[in-house]
Amino acid sequence: MKFALVVLLFLSSCSVYETKVSELLKVTLSHGGGLIGRYLSSHSGRGIRAFMDVPYAEPPIGHLRFSNPVPKEPWEGFLKVSGNADHCLQYDYLYKGNMSIGSEDCLYLNVYVPQVSKSKDLLPVMVFFHGGGFQSGNGKRVSFGPDYLLDEDAILVTGNYRLGVFGFLTTNTPDCPGNYGLKDQSLMLRWIQENIGAFGGDRNSVTIFGQSSGGISVTYHTLSPLSRGLFQRGIAHSGTHLGLRSIQDIRVAARSARKLVNMLKCPSEKSNPEEMLECLRSKSAQEINSHFYDLFLWDVYPDIYWSPVVEPPNLGAFLDQELSEISTGDDIPFMLGVTSNEGVMVSASILQSSELINDVKTKWNTILPPTLSYNFYTKDTQDRLTDIITEFYVQDYEKDMNDPIFFQKFTDAVSDGYFISPTDRFIQSRQESSLDSNTYLYFFNHKGDSSYAELLQQNVNADHGVSHIDDMISLFPILKGHLFSGFATEEDDYIRKAMVSLWVNFATYGNPTPTGRDVELPRWDPVGSFPYNYLRIGRYNQTENVSRICMERVLYPERLLFWRQIRDILNDSPVDID
């Protein structure tokens, strides 16, 4: 009894005393101040030095709200970083507007380093930008930890960037130009250039990769003068900057800003832009964020409401030229791909609500434009596109989301409009620049023990194929988080190991299956000419007698050509800016 009491007294007083910190967990940054990290382990048990929630910018609050990011001021001594910083302020889409989380003080990044590497060389650096439609998400360990990727020799960097109105509000004026979230990402890349050598990383071997809006971000960085020279390779999962959801006409974006200003009872920027910004900066972040869902046209659509724009000329612009006037960047190796049923992220979520199901049936012509993000065009253009898309996908089917055939056709329309067509357009742009010889396309077709479609429909027994985000389950330890109760199968483990090997090879050599390396996988060939070569990863039906991973050709050629026609129509159509 006395022994137990002594132990309890000791444990209760431990926080009073400083314990010894291993020199391996200390890193001195370029400005002279340092970090104290913590010890983690990878999936296979390899040691990891983790430096979580490292401040890379000053908190974007007060006069820094709706402003370009400011690098973090140097500090003296060692800062203990352990992963307790907040998300960037947002509404979480999964909770249908019922959950506002995070804070404005959120510009932190995480660096994960192997404790012992197999090579004496500097390590390649992989920088991940999270998805979430530029409106939600985070780069924290619980979502995008190093467990799988650091089974190999690489350094992983993740982080937060401003979201929603705080990341992308613009008034189409130099004092509020927009794209702050993308500028945050670019500052992260600059921080890496200045500091990654202290962690044993190679600043000349940086691969940026991201999923959904994170993938869109990656392709934007290939265009931006702010990011030029800060990375050497790119990987875009399920998204590029050449989609309808990926960019907004700045005049439309400024109109949205005026609507928000009116809701907050601030003066219009036309009468006094400085007074308007001062008013916006005086409002609480929660009050501004409370109007998040007031601007949507149907449910949460268009789902990327505050988004990237071509900025008016200003000092520190991320993007101030029209996309058609910019090449796709330096001659860098690039990987990109999609899952086999991307659009389930929309169609499965509709099944949660009888009201939404009825809207699809009775208000088809009203809900389709915001769902596919062509609602910013004139009414005539919207009506024309709705007729064309309806004829191509659903024809005379009754628009019943509970009908499996209609459900799949609706899903295909979303898959193509949101993800597959933008992927095709990005490959086209690479081919026009003769960069297709180092462009690699994948098609993720592995249905694991858990899928994001289960969360979207709130039905663990639903089987709607391989959803948007499902490929992330093979690169990050998402199953270990709080969202899923799944358990990796033998097939899951095989796909995970293969993807980690391919992705780290690409980050190291610029080729996922480099010549001369002992890679027990099929050679991954570049895309070539249309219809493209692609690597199929996974077999949806695991009882099929087909390879789990193999090269294939001809990915949805009719659907891709259809969306090329849609883009031609939109290129000749005016945007509604009234």
Residue 485's identity, in one-letter code, is S
**Nearest residue to 60 (alpha-carbon basis) of 169, 173, 141:** 169
Number of other CB atoms surrounding residue 237 within 10 Å: 27
Buried b (16+ CB within 10 A) or exposed e, 403-426: eeebbbbbbbbbbbbbbbbbbbbb
Q: Looking at the whole model, is its pTM more than 0.75?
A: yes
Backbone Cα Rg of the chain: 24
8 A C-beta contact, residue 373 and residue 410: no
How far is it, in rounded angstroms, from Cα 292 to Cα 316?
27
What burial letters (b/e) apply to 501-532, b meaning 16+ CB within 10 Å?
bbbbbbbbbbbbbeeeeebebeebbbbbebbb
- How many residues are listed for the chain in this entry? 578
User: Annotated catalytic, 212?
Assistant: yes
Q: Which of 104, 269, 342, 454 is catalytic?
A: 342
What parts of the chain have a pLDDT lower than 70? 1-19, 93-99, 269-271, 328-330, 457-461, 481-486, 517-519, 542-544, 578
Q: Compute the distance between CA of residue 497 and CA of residue 500 in angstroms, rounded to an integer.
A: 5
Angle at 250 between CA 367 and CA 247, to 5 degrees: 60
DSSP string across 218-271: HHHHTT-TTTTTS-SEEEEES--TTSTTT---HHHHHHHHHHHHHHTTPPPTTT
Residue 45 is predicted with a pLDDT of 95
Q: Name the active-site residue from 67, 136, 186, 212.
A: 212
Nearest residue to 233 via CA among 243, 246, 247, 219? 219
Tokens of 375: 């609602």
Nearest one of 112, 120, 124 to 39, comparing CA atoms: 112
Contact assessment for residue 135 and residue 273, using Cβ atoms and an 8 Å cutoff:
no
Single-letter code of the amino acid located at 33? G
Task: Report the pLDDT value the prediction gives residue 359, as an integer from 0 to 100.
Answer: 97
Structure tokens at 310: 């071509």
pLDDT tens-digit profile of 324-359?
878 766 689 999 999 999 999 999 989 989 999 999
Distance CA 346, CA 459 (A): 14
User: Which residue, among 361, 363, 385, 362, has the nearest Cα to 373 in the 3D structure?
Assistant: 385
Render pLDDT for 157-175 as a digit per residue (tens, 0 to 9). Answer: 999 999 999 999 999 999 9
